[in-house]
């Protein structure tokens, strides 16, 4: 089928399905008449202004985010995001060989959306000793792990020295691994129990081996959502303050957004704007990860799972809105391996990693694997037409 006949066929198909939508050249790349310039085809004419901004590297605003969220042109939105993604990373798709460690699920915050936390003494509550951590690391010492991802609950019985011991033990067992640990919520708690200022707490953790932070804890940067779902946890102003201090100390971090619960589209858009504003100041965010809410075993179990449509749209809109973030992840643990693979064509350029032993999302009902092999991730990427690139925590390529 020739290009012209293909696009005529596509136009007829779109008009048959959406007869009230005027077909226009936009997304799906189509050669122009001179054969030199590629155009993008969208089917939602309301996105025309956004398309022009994307093509001309003009920053999108909150109104644009809302228009994207309200549009049903998922293919058009996806290809706009893919256009941006390919300009940054070509056909590369990244992953890391990492191991997750969850040191405790005892937590005093009792967030309504959390299936992971337990009160002390409850069935399934746990706190790892330093020896437990040493064993978990030693059991996988033969594997070429380059990153340890470590988070836990806010357990008031653990002293500050325990956290320093965790970091030092990891460096003792794996001196060359990158430790990505503790959300901004945990850092705020540690500053409260250390007897030190926030800045000195961060410096002390850094000296013990901390090199990077994951992005959790913000959930949605909204006072309304916090009041309803996690009132015991720090608010968005404090979260942004803690992260800015982390970046000022020379540590990088990720950022996330938990979506698919009670947040509004406006709150999602404002979340992007707030993250982007902080990134303009600090340049300390490495990647953004949309996190799909899983309600099973939570106090919000009546909320249905997110749809594939919404999962892909959140990844694509993140890529379009966060123009100062280098990387957007498709976190396969939360959206499943197959959809994460598809998301590589909707703006994502990273599948996260091998994980090895994920607990938090699986306690909320995730049906994805608890870990993937390097070969499995490479195969997922290649099967989708991308070039797998194993990386370290800072996106330096690893030649294996």
**Average pLDDT over all residues of the chain:** 89
**What is the pLDDT, as a whole number, of residue 40?**
85
Res. 23 pLDDT band, cuts 50 70 90: very low
Whole-number Å distance between alpha carbons of 280 and 17: 42
pTM above 0.85, yes or no: yes
**What is the pLDDT, as a whole number, of residue 369?**
53
Strand 30-31 to 38-39 pairing: antiparallel
Res. 357 pLDDT band, cuts 50 70 90: low
Per-residue pLDDT tens digits for 130-172: 999 999 999 999 999 999 999 999 999 999 999 999 999 999 9
State percent of the chain over pLDDT 90.
82
Cα distances (Å, whole numbers) of residue 82 to 72, 147, 158, 230: 17, 28, 45, 34
Full set of structural domains in the chain with CATH: 3-89 (no CATH), 92-391 (3.20.20.70)
Residue 218 is encoded by which pair of tokens?
A: 């913000």
Q: What is the largest CA-CA distance in the chain?
A: 72
Mean pLDDT within 349-358: 83
Taking 80 as the threshold, does the pLDDT of residue 37 lie above it?
no
Whole-number Å distance between alpha carbons of 192 and 190: 5
Whole-number Å distance between alpha carbons of 323 and 294: 28
Name 289's Cβ contacts closer than 8 Å, sequence gap at least 6.
215, 254, 255, 256, 328, 329, 331, 352
**What is the pLDDT, as a whole number, of residue 234?**
97
**What is the pLDDT, as a whole number, of residue 219?**
96
Mean pLDDT within 25-46: 61
Res. 322 pLDDT band, cuts 50 70 90: very high
Res. 14 pLDDT band, cuts 50 70 90: very low
Per-residue pLDDT tens digits for 92-117: 999 999 999 999 999 999 999 998 88
Mean pLDDT within 243-267: 98
Res. 24 pLDDT band, cuts 50 70 90: very low
Taking 90 as the threshold, does the pLDDT of residue 9 lie above it?
no
Name 64's Cβ contacts closer than 8 Å, sequence gap at least 6.
49, 50, 53, 320, 321
Taking 70 as the threshold, does the pLDDT of residue 366 lie above it?
no
Whole-number Å distance between alpha carbons of 30 and 271: 34
Query: At CA 116, angle to CA 114 and CA 117, rounded to 5?
Result: 85
Mean pLDDT within 207-226: 96
Per-residue pLDDT tens digits for 260-271: 999 999 999 999
Per-residue pLDDT tens digits for 171-194: 999 999 999 999 999 999 999 999
Least confident of 122-126, 163-167, 203-207, 230-234: 122-126
Mean pLDDT within 355-363: 54
**What is the pLDDT, as a whole number, of residue 399?**
87
Mean pLDDT within 310-326: 98
Whole-number Å distance between alpha carbons of 355 and 357: 6
């Amino acid at each position: 089928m020739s290009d012209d006949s293909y696009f005529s066929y596509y136009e007829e198909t779109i008009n048959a399905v959406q007869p009230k939508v005027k077909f226009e050249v936009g997304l799906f790349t189509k050669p122009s008449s001179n054969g030199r310039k590629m155009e993008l085809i969208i089917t939602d004419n309301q996105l025309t202004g956004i398309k022009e901004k994307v093509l001309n590297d003009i920053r999108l605003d909150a109104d644009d985010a809302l228009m994207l969220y309200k549009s049903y042109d998922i293919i058009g939105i996806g290809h706009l995001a893919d256009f941006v993604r390919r300009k940054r990373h070509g056909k590369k798709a990244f992953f890391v060989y990492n191991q997750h460690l969850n040191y405790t699920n005892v937590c005093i915050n009792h967030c309504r959306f959390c299936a992971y936390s337990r009160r002390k003494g409850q069935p399934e509550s746990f706190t790892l000793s330093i020896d437990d951590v040493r064993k978990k690391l030693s059991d996988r010492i033969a594997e070429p792990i380059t990153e340890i991802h470590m988070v836990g609950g806010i357990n008031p019985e653990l002293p500050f020295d325990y956290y320093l011991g965790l970091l030092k033990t990891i460096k003792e067992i794996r001196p060359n691994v990158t430790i990505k640990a503790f959300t901004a919520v945990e850092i705020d708690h540690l500053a409260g129990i250390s007897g030190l200022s926030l800045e000195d707490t961060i410096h002390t953790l850094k000296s013990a081996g901390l090199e990077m932070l994951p992005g959790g804890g913000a959930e949605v940067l909204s006072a309304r959502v916090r009041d309803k779902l996690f009132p015991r946890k720090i608010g968005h102003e404090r979260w942004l303050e803690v992260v800015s201090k982390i970046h000022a100390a020379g540590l990088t971090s990720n950022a996330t957004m938990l979506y698919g619960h009670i947040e509004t589209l406006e709150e999602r858009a404002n979340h992007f704007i707030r993250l982007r504003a902080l990134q303009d100041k600090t340049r300390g965010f490495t990647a953004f990860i949309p996190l799909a809410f899983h309600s099973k075993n939570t106090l919000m179990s009546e909320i249905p799972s997110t749809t594939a449509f919404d999962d892909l749209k959140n990844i694509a809109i993140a890529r379009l809105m966060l123009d100062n973030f280098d990387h957007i992840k498709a976190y396969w643990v939360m959206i499943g391996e197959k959809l994460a693979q598809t998301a590589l064509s909707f703006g994502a350029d990273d599948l996260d990693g091998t994980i090895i032993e994920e607990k938090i999302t699986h306690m909320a009902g995730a049906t994805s694997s608890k870990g993937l092999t390097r070969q499995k991730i490479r195969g997922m990427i290649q099967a989708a037409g991308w070039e797998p690139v194993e990386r370290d925590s800072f996106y330096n390529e690893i030649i294996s």
